[in-house]
Amino acid sequence: MGRTVLSMSVSLDGFAAGPDVSPEQPMGRGGERLHEWLFQADGDRAVAADGVTPVGVDAAQVRERHATTGAVVIGQRTFDVGVDLWQDTPFPVPCFVVTREARDPLTMKSGVFTFVDDGLHSTLRQARHAAGDQSVLVMGGPTIGRQFVKAGLVDEIHLQLVPVLLGAGTRLFDDLGTDHVELERTAVIESPHVTHLRYHVPK
């Protein structure tokens, strides 16, 4: 069975989305800054042999994430604000939406959205089955990410620390409760645009 990985870009002051998230502003006001690193080549802006693919630290992180992800979990609001923008599942794998409303699966070009209305454990169980030996990626939004951490369902936390202070929005780790959660740092990977931090969550 693969790992359950929470991966999210956050500002230096801890925000994973700006304020006023809407279909017009899926990351909230100013929140798109958190994902700029995804669209920039590193350092010398080298490209691969195909003349298109950026080569460097950030591009390598993106490639690894795609290669190791077998299923994705998102929340209802992330689906609502993202589906029209993506016009597909966010990764070309089965995607599970944590929701409170029963709904038929939605088939897209690269995968299927399955809507799960009976809790986090059921969502993760279905996602793990779909992912097989690959990882389940919990990618959005910050509220769902926080709920998975609080429920003890995450094996690894991958943060993309963006050098910006958003000042307002939704913090990833607000309202986790008073329990102490000790993490083991497994990697720090730097680029000119973002610092990739990886942590193991001991069980």
Task: pLDDT band for 90, please (50, 70, 90 cuts).
Answer: very high
Extents of the domains making up the chain: 4-200
- pLDDT for position 22: 86
Question: What global pTM score does this model have?
Answer: 0.89
Neighbours of 136 (CB within 10 A): 31
- Cα three-residue angle 11-71-9, rounded to 5 degrees: 5
47 band by pLDDT with thresholds 50, 70 and 90? very low
Distances (CA, A) of 153 to 24, 139, 166: 32, 14, 28
pLDDT higher than threshold 80 for residue 53: no
| Average per-residue pLDDT for the chain | 89
Q: Which two tokens stand for residue 190?
A: 């730097």
CATH code for the structural domain at 4-200: 3.40.430.10
Can you give the pLDDT at residue 55? 54
Average pLDDT over residues 59-86: 92
Q: Give yes or no for residue 28 having a pLDDT over 80.
A: yes
pLDDT of residue 66: 92
Give the range among 34-48, 85-99, 108-122, 161-175 with minimum mean pLDDT.
34-48
pLDDT score of 38: 87
